[in-house]
A and B are shown apart, each in its own frame.
Chain A
Amino acid sequence: MRHLLSTKDLGRAEAIQILDIAEDMADVQNREVKKLPTLRGKTVVNLFFEDSTRTRISFEAAAKRLSADVINFSAKGSSVSKGESLKDTAQTLAAMGADGVVIRHSASGAPQVLAQSDWIDAGVVNAGDGTHEHPTQALLDAFTMRRRLFPGDSRGRGLDGVSVVIVGDILHSRVARSNLWLLGTLGATVTFVAPATLVPVGADTWPVDLSFDLDATLALMQPDVVMMLRIQSERMNAAYFPSAREYGRQWGLDDERLARLRPDSIVMHPGPMNRGLEISAGAADSAQSTVLEQVANGVSIRMAVLYLLLSGEREALS
């Protein structure tokens, strides 16, 4: 693997390989010595044009546990906020000898532009681009599902036949997009539930079932997994729905809806959560919730991705 830009172009074997390597990495997380020497001498740059402390520290922990040197490059307060271009930044990082670049950017496609350019020869990991994709989040979600649904027997398998309901702001969610493609590749069936204003135009052509009605969908699907998406506060001011109260009533996972879920189903949230809006405190802290596992699994997945991108000899451009 040369770059990880999206889950859309990830094959099934490749995806399962990442999940399996993440299992090995997770084993390392349970040891007393959590560090591997694998990427000693390699330099990973966390290039964050958008604030995300959670994602950045997850990648930072992953790189450090593989013994890579980590440089954090945050756009805020740097030359980037003074108008330096992506190209100039990339060339600067190339001159510093970066082997891998983990990029988070508000513009969709920025990681792909970086990977396609001749500005830098590093492996590029998309850590979230605009409303496009967030592949490591989807991988850690799939990893979490696999471990919960097939305890002790997760290696080597996909998510065939698993039903996943993803609820909330699909329109602006790169997590929903990355999950859609990856879960489909792994054999799961996906249903999006959202108000019509938050369903992307053309989503009816995607391999997904669409629904506006959360209660009907939960009753009909009896899903294995319910994934709640974060509602950004700025959406409330942009007329996507009238009020937080109305949104929570229609599309929030409250205690009552939680009680109606199958007891062995799992509740996921990519974080950070708006407790009381899209998810109740009861649902977030229930035994069915995987929120904290997702955080831990994020490090394992990112270790696996960095390992695959940076350990071997660099693949030639195809």
Chain B
Amino acid sequence: MARTVLQQADIARALTRISHEILESNRGANDLVILGIPTRGVVLADRIGRIIAGIEQGTDPSAIVGSLDITMYRDDLARHPTRTPSPTQVPRQGIDGKTVVLVDDVLYSGRTIRAALDALNDLGRPRVVRLATLVDRGHRDLPIRADFVGKNLPTSREERINVRLTEIDGTEEVSIEEATSER
């Protein structure tokens, strides 16, 4: 059965903290681009953008937030049915010379982030790339590490992490599901 590990208030607090940490490390919102990775990373990036705009007066969230689809860069395309890609939307200012923060809901093997870095590479040349994730559950396959973490959740490979966000799922929580017969 599923066990809730983060509730709505926990998620809100984590995102606020991540927003502050981003601003701190970037020394403000200048030259900052926040790119969410579909599907739920886009929602989280939106929220972070709005929190940042609330902190840094005069910041337009739509000028710093975008989405980065990684479907075409995945390394497991041939092992799954064809996926329909989502749009990539980069803020008008572009990414060249910017601080790009990638946002995803769960950091696991690191393969998604590897694909995102490739996708980013084809879009331009950021000054630095950072990674924010709501949940880091460990078990990395690649040498990738998050800069901003909402919560570290030690899990076993058999467990499943479910992130539910109001905009997509109608509810708001992070839960761990016990191992089932499927993998």
Contact A38 B82 (CB under 8 A): no
Contact A38 B73 (CB under 8 A): yes
For chain A, what secondary structure do more than half of its interface residues adopt (helix, strand, loop), or is it mixed?
A: loop
Among A4-12, A17-25, A174-182, A255-263, the one that faces the other chain is A17-25
Given contacts A311-B82, A313-B78, contact A37 B88 (CB under 8 A): no
Cβ of A35 < 8 Å from any Cβ of B?
A: yes
Contacts of B81 in A (CB 8 A): 312-313, 315
Cβ of A82 < 8 Å from any Cβ of B?
A: no
**When the two chains form the complex, which single residue of B78, B84, B87, B118 contacts A17, counting CB atoms closer than 8 Å?**
B84
Contacts of A27 in B (CB 8 A): 87-88
Contacts of B72 in A (CB 8 A): 36-38, 66, 307
Contact B123 A1 (CB under 8 A): no
Cβ of A317 < 8 Å from any Cβ of B?
A: no
Interface residues of B (CB under 8 A from A): 69, 72-73, 77-85, 87-88, 118, 121-124
Beyond A20-B84, A37-B73, 6 additional pairs, beta carbon < 8 A: A21-B84, A27-B88, A36-B72, A37-B118, A312-B83, A315-B81
Which residue of chain A has the shortest Cβ distance to B87 in the bound complex? A24
Contacts of B124 in A (CB 8 A): 32
Docked pose: A155 CA to B89 CA in angstroms? 14
Docked pose: A20 CA to B87 CA in angstroms? 9
Which residue of chain A has the shortest Cβ distance to B81 in the bound complex? A312
How many whole Å from B16's CB to the nearest CB in chain A? Answer: 33
Contact A24 B88 (CB under 8 A): yes
Which residue of chain A has the shortest Cβ distance to B88 in the bound complex? A27
Contact A24 B123 (CB under 8 A): no
Contacts of B88 in A (CB 8 A): 24, 27
Given contacts A37-B73, A38-B72, contact A312 B122 (CB under 8 A): no
Q: Which of A66, A308, A312 has the most CB of B within 10 A?
A: A312
Docked pose: A17 CA to B81 CA in angstroms? 15
Q: Which of A1, A35, A37, A155 has the most CB of B within 10 A?
A: A37
Q: Which of A1, A23, A33, A311 has the most CB of B within 10 A?
A: A311
Given contacts A24-B69, A38-B72, A312-B77, contact A33 B122 (CB under 8 A): yes
Docked pose: A38 CA to B73 CA in angstroms? 6
Which residue of chain B has the shortest Cβ distance to A23 in the bound complex? B87
Contacts of A66 in B (CB 8 A): 72
